[in-house]
Every structure is written in C-alpha cells, then in structure tokens.
C-alpha cells in the first residue's frame, strides 16, 4: 500500500512541483489557499494532467510522462470527495450511490452493496431524497457512500469540512475519522486548517507556493515545524529572524534578546518561533523584561500583546495567549519561556 507522487506543472505565474510518498493512513496536505494543494489532488485523480512526472498507486502506474502513461480518471480507482460534495442534483440519494457502482454488472450485487452502504452511512429512509433536501452532514455521507461503494484504493478529500457549519464540523470530524480508520487504505486530505490537520491525520505534508516543504508525522511537525512557513501554518504567532551565537544560544535582533535553546542550533539558522501559549511569568529560562501593549479577548482565552524592553520599533508586538482564569491581575514585568519551547526555523 503506497502512493508515490512526483509531478511538475507550469501555470505561468505559478509552478507546481511536488514529490512525496504516502503510506497507509491519513496524510494531510496543509497549506494556505492557492498553494497548489487541490491541484495536486486533481493531478492524482487524473482530472488535470501534469507537465511531467510519475504517479504510482500500489504498484499501478497512473501517470508517467516518460512512458506516456496517463490513465483516465475512470480507471485510476481514486475516490475524490469534492469540497462541495458534487452530488448530482437531478438524482436521488439512491441514484447517486448507484453511480459509484456503475462498473458492477450484476444487478443483485449492486442492490446488496447499495443496501449495505445505506445502512453503514445511516442513510436509510433517505434513498429517494434529492441532494437539495439533505442536511450538510447527510450530503457529506451520501458523497462518501457514493465513493466508498466504488471501492477506491485511495481516497482524496478536498477541504472536507469547509461546507459545514461550525457546530456540525466537530461531530463530523470524529465520525469521518472513525470511518477513515475502517476504510483501511490511504487517504490524502487537503486542508488549510491546522486543527483539522491535527485532528484527522497521522502525517502532514506542508505546502507553500506550489512546493512541498516537508512531510512529517503530525505531532512531530507541531513540536518542531523546522521552517518559517511550516511554523506559520501550524499556528506559531511569534516568529523573528535569528542568528546562531553558539550551539545553544540564538540572538534575536528584532526583539533585542538572546535565547537559550534545548535543541542544538545548526549554522544556517534563519529564525526562531515561540508559540503564544508558551510564555509564562514563572518560567526559569529565557526571562526578559516586557511592556504591555494590547489585549484581545476570545471566548475562553485572552491574548495579551507585549513588547520586549529592547525590541525594535518596527517589529510587531509579541503574542501571549492564556486561559482567562489564568490571567494575572497586573501585567508581569518579566516573562520567560522554557528552552525546549524555542522553535528553531531553517529554510
């Protein structure tokens, strides 16, 4: 079970150039809007044709520019869940799901698989409804049923939760995660939402401007993003250029501080990142005097913005995020951050 993707496609102003392999389980493609995530999925599904490269799924060559192989989408056995689900509006739930069984010749088998899928997806009783009569969750389940019933070897999910209301999203995340675990094949999920990526995936591939920056296990990526773009995409709010002083000390000119790090610093250090919730008045390491700047309240957390004593004027304030009940009466004069929480960012 494996997916090998190596593709290049030139769009003039924008160049897609990705190269990765994915194994069983869920891999998330994380990146900002317009970075080429969806285009990558379309190339794998055969909807778009890359200029050059090679796509191999479980040993079957789907695309190879050198050998002039380009299987049509119909023969790739790749399921694609579109952002808007792309249910056929003129067909009922039943007819939509039967479309996924179009290559099954035996009518009895078709009916049996349809009934199984309706039960599994809790769509019984909705067989004759049109997509416009379904709720968002039911539409998603119908679209998934239609795909899974066609028995794909790879499942592509394009922003699977973006069409749903916030409160539905969380319950559907759990539902979809369990379903994908049962699916047992590879899943490639495109998202720009780091929480979604964290909830759903075992591995994350970070994309930026058509390039693949890195592929890492999800938790490892959040613990050590490794590059500025990955740090931004995983939600790191405080990032500033930095220079190596010695193996465990980095100088951050914008903030006017020197930081001790737990990880050994490599020579080509470009920047450091500190997540907003890692600051603490009680931290022993990396303490520096600070001035309060701005406050922003969220439902359950508070963001306090501050500046270091020696911080450059044009450098943006630093974010400190903490639960509301932990908010100090008086803004502390000094804040610190543990050496282990200083993220080292390279190119």
Partner 1 sequence: MDWYPLLNSLRIAAIACVLVFFTGIFFACYAAKLPRAVKGVLDVILTLPMVLPPTVCGYFLLLIFGVKRPLGMFLMKFGIKFVMTWYGGVLAAAVVAFPLMYRTARGAFESFDQNLAWAGQTLGLSNGYIFWRIRMPACRQGILAGTVLAFARALGEYGATSMLIGYTPGRTATISTTVYQLWRTNDERGAMFWVMVNLAISTVVLLTVNMLEARQKKAVRA
Residues in the site for partner 1, rule: CB under 8 A? Answer: 42, 45-47, 72-76, 78-80, 82-84, 86, 88-90, 99-100, 102-103, 132, 146-147, 150
Residue placing its CB nearer to partner 1 in the complex, 79 or 226: 79
Residue 90 C-beta: closest distance to partner 1, Å = 4
Residue placing its CB nearer to partner 1 in the complex, 29 or 148: 148
Question: What distance in Å separates the CA atoms of residue 341 and residue 307, rounded to the nearest whole number?
Answer: 19
Residue placing its CB nearer to partner 1 in the complex, 83 or 280: 83
Q: Which of 200, 194, 193 is nearest to 176 (CA)?
A: 200
Residue 103 C-beta: closest distance to partner 1, Å = 5
Q: Which of 239, 224, 193 is nearest to 32 (CA)?
A: 193
Residue placing its CB nearer to partner 1 in the complex, 54 or 76: 76
Question: What distance in Å separates the CA atoms of residue 155 and residue 188, rounded to the nearest whole number?
Answer: 6
Three-state secondary-structure class, residue 39? helix
Residue 14 C-beta: closest distance to partner 1, Å = 19
Residue placing its CB nearer to partner 1 in the complex, 150 or 191: 150
What 3 state SS string does 213-229 have?
Answer: EEEEEHHHHHHCCCEHH
Residue 44 C-beta: closest distance to partner 1, Å = 10
| Residues listed for the chain | 347
Residue placing its CB nearer to partner 1 in the complex, 35 or 156: 156
Residue pair 240/269 in contact (Cβ under 8 Å)? The answer is no
Q: Which of 75, 32, 36 is nearest to 5 (CA)?
A: 36
Question: What distance in Å separates the CA atoms of residue 60 and residue 210, rounded to the nearest whole number?
Answer: 25
């Amino acid at each position: 079970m494996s997916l090998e993707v190596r593709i290049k496609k030139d769009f003039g102003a924008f160049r897609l150039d990705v190269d990765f392999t994915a194994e069983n389980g869920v891999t998330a493609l994380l990146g900002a809007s317009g970075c080429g995530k969806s285009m990558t999925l379309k190339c794998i599904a055969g909807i778009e044709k890359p200029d050059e490269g090679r796509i191999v799924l479980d040993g079957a060559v789907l695309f190879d520019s050198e050998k002039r192989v380009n299987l049509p989408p119909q023969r790739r056995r790749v399921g694609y869940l579109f952002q808007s689900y792309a249910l056929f509006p003129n067909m009922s739930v039943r007819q939509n799901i039967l479309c996924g069984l179009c290559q099954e010749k035996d009518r009895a088998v078709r009916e049996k698989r349809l009934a199984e899928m309706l039960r599994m997806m809790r769509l019984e009783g909705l067989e004759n409804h049109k997509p416009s009569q379904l709720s968002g969750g039911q539409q998603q389940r119908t679209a998934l049923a239609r795909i899974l019933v066609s028995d794909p070897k790879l499942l592509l999910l394009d922003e699977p939760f973006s069409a749903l209301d916030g409160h539905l999203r969380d319950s559907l995340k759990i539902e979809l995660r369990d379903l994908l675990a049962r699916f047992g094949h590879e899943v490639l999920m495109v998202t720009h939402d780091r929480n979604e990526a964290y909830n759903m995936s075992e591995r994350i591939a970070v994309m930026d401007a058509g390039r693949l920056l890195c592929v890492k296990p999800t938790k490892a990526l959040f613990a050590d993003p490794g590059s500025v773009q990955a740090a931004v995409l995983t939600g790191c709010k405080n990032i500033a250029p930095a220079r190596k002083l010695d193996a465990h000390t980095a100088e951050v000119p914008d903030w006017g501080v020197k930081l001790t790090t737990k990880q050994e610093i490599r020579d080509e250090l470009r920047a450091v990142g500190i997540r907003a919730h890692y600051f603490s008045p009680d931290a022993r390491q990396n303490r520096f005097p600070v001035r309060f700047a701005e406050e922003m309240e969220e439902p359950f957390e508070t963001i306090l913005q501050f500046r270091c004593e020696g911080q450059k004027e044009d450098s943006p304030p630093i974010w400190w995020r903490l639960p509301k009940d932990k908010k100090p009466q008086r803004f502390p004069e000094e804040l610190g951050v543990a050496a282990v929480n200083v993220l080292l960012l390279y190119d």
